[in-house]
Structure 1
Amino acid sequence: MNVLTHIHHQAELGDWTSQLLVFPFLLALLLYTVAVKLSNQIYTKWPLKRTLLFIGGIIFAVSALVGPIAERAHVDFSYHMYAHLLLGMLAPLLIALSAPMTLLMRTLSVNASRKLTRFLKSKPISVVTNPVVATVLNVGGLWVIYTTSLYENMHQHVGLYLFVHLHVFLAGYLFTISMIYIDPTAHRRSYRYRAIIFILALAGHGILSKFIYSRPPFGVPIDQAERGSMIMYYGGDLIDGIILFILCLQWYKATRPKALGEVALKG
């Protein structure tokens, strides 16, 4: 498929496809806002910063699906990479930092909270939030998209287009919450384990960006692939750097009391 045909198929997806993708995010924003109001009636006031983080995450996710960036992403691979960073990395990070599960627990009834807790403790949740599995879904999924015919095919089939974009966001969110714990989790992995997997994920993401630079997805002009790969490489490192900082900060806070206690005993 040449570039003009690629553009034609992308245009055929229509505005309604983007609107369909945006709907879950707008619904989530409405539910989060309602949950904040209900929670504030029972417990102490929900932190404003959490709400702002969630709103920011929704805004970045929606801007990757509709608006100027999304429109340019239809015809320019470099803008497609901007959209990828917003939808698959920055939006999941901000939403994870907003502690949505904690808010949900505060809002639900006692019985509903217990059922949700049992679900979160289940084996399937333990599997998908394992850093290894989350990395395979996230970084591995990107390798499948950009090194196979999937990138070309998703611009020809609406269902595949919807699936890929939802996967990018959900895989990015699972990856984020598997590395940094903002909400309470029943399946905690050690900091060392998460740090090792995170470094491997960084390597996989970086190698993929270099692969795209040298071997663009089918139908993508070389100049766009080069720009897009650099956006993916440097932009991804910036967002991953934030996650790494949070992980290291949490690790430091968790081990500092122990270290101080050992010093006191020695003294």
Structure 2
Amino acid sequence: MTGPAVLAHGGHAAEGPGWLPLFPVVVLAGVYLLAAVRDQRGWDHRRTAAWLAGCALLAVAVGPLGQLSDDPRGHMAQHLLLGMLAPLGLVLGAPVTLLLRVSPPSVRRATGRLLRSRALHLLAHPVTAALLTTGGLALVLLTPLYARAEQQPALHHALHLHYLAAGYLFAWSLAGPDPAPRRPGLAVRIGALIGAAAGHSVLAKYLYAHAETLPPGLTDRDPEAFRSAAQLMYYGGDLAELLLAVALFATWYTRPRRSRPRPVRLIKTFASPKDDSVTRTS
């Protein structure tokens, strides 16, 4: 479904302390827990569990799987977690709602302005988010960007951030419980999910069929390893898309319903030959 599904970066695992990538994940989990404890009205423990599950998946992606340096299958699993599964847990944690509940009025006003901004509305539209995720994956697989990222750590980490951000935006645009002004209707979101899933499947099959030449620019490749990675991408993506579809329908079903006015019926009375009035009753 999304761009985070593939990127093998040989040689980067040994750079820097092994615990360093886990530090931002620990910060995300700790700040969220402090905010949840601070919420005087009582924060939903299910939201906390979802956020911590997302952080745990991120920790696995940048920790144990991040130490692998030469196996495309390990990196495929890493990025399935990083850009498809972890964002869903983070989104279901409703961090924006929690922020609005515990922050001062000035922060709430700034957050509201950001949520209503045209730029965020464009980026968080399901179609735009689908293009960012699936399009990012296609860009990596079909151009020398993959090979360059193997040699440039800064580009490697920038792509990771893009994958995580794009995956979060896509999950939020489809199934986010957080407030999202002008969010499209259910039909648009389902269409975006189906389109992204189809694009993800096509790219996985294309990688499998052209493992001898894709990604371009590599001087040392193992076609069989990339075929196995493509299979993991295909079936792992199916699982992530299924979970996202379940979250989409669950969020839609449990959304607050606005009270609808009762229909007004027109009843013509014939109590008297002279009474030809029409009475409105609700």
Give 1:64 shift: 0.9
- Name stretches of at least 5 consecutive residues in structure 2 with no aligned partner: 1-7, 264-282
1:54 and 2:51 correspond: yes
**Aligned-pair Cα RMSD in Å:** 2.4
Question: Normalized against structure 2, the TM-score is what?
Answer: 0.81
User: What secondary structure, in the 3-state scheme, does the structure 1 residue paired with 2:11 have?
Assistant: helix
Structure 1 stretches of 5 or more lacking a match? Answer: 1-6, 263-267
Q: How many residues align?
A: 248
Equivalent residue for 2:101? 106
1:109-160 Cα deviation digits (max 9, x unpaired): 1221111111111111101101111011111001111111111111100110
d(CA) in 2 for partners of 1:108, 1:54: 19
Cα distance, 1:215 vs. partner?
A: 1.6
What is aligned with 2:67? 71
1:170 maps to 2:165: yes
2:21/2:63 contact within 8 Å kept: no
Q: Distance in 1 between matches of 2:194 and 2:31?
A: 35
The more displaced of 100-109 and 10-19 is 10-19
Q: TM-score, normalised by structure 1?
A: 0.85
- One-letter amino acid of the counterpart of residue 191, structure 2: I
Partner-residue secondary structure (3-state), 2:182:
coil
Deviation at 1:185, TM superposition (A): 1.2
Partner of 1:212 in structure 2? 207
- Name the aligned partner's letter for residue 165 of structure 2: L
Which residue of structure 2 aligns with residue 116 of structure 1?
A: 111
CA contact (8 A) 1:92 1:173 kept: yes
Q: Which residue of 2 aligns with 1:221?
A: 222
Output the CA distance in 2 between the equivalents of 1:173 and 1:27. 18
Give yes or no for contact 1:53–1:97 (8 Å, CA) kept in 2.
yes
Identity of aligned residues (%): 32
Alpha-carbon shift at residue 13 of structure 1 (Å): 6.0
The equivalent position to 1:82 in structure 2, one of 72, 77, 81, is: 77
Deviation at 1:29, TM superposition (A): 1.4
**Greater gyration radius:** 2
Tell me if structure 1 keeps the 8 A contact 2:22–2:59: yes
Is the CA contact 1:77–1:220 (under 8 Å) kept in the aligned structure 2? no
* Matched-pair contact (CA < 8 Å) for 1:17–1:162: no
Residues 54, 95 of structure 1: 8 Å contact kept: yes
Per-residue CA deviations over 1:165-206 (Å, capped at 9, x if unaligned) read 111111111111111131111121010011111111010000
- Residue number among 119, 122, 133 corresponding to 2:128 in the alignment: 133
Bigger Cα displacement from structure 2, 58-67 vs 218-227: 218-227
Q: Which amino acid aligns with 1:206?
A: S
Question: How many angstroms does 1:23 deviate by?
Answer: 3.1
**Structure 1's 252 and 242: CA in aligned 2 closer, same or farther, altered over 3 A?**
same
Cα distance change on mapping 1:138 and 1:148 into 2, 3 Å: same
Deviations 1:80-121 (A, max 9, x none): 110011000110000111111111111101221111111111
Change (3 A) 1:197 1:70: same
Cα distance in 2 for residues equivalent to 1:255 and 1:23? 37
1:253–1:12 distance in 2 versus 1, CA, 3 Å: closer
Residue pair 2:73, 2:229 contacting (<8 A) in 1 also: yes
Greater than 6 Å deviation, 4+ residue runs: 254-258
More helix by share: 1
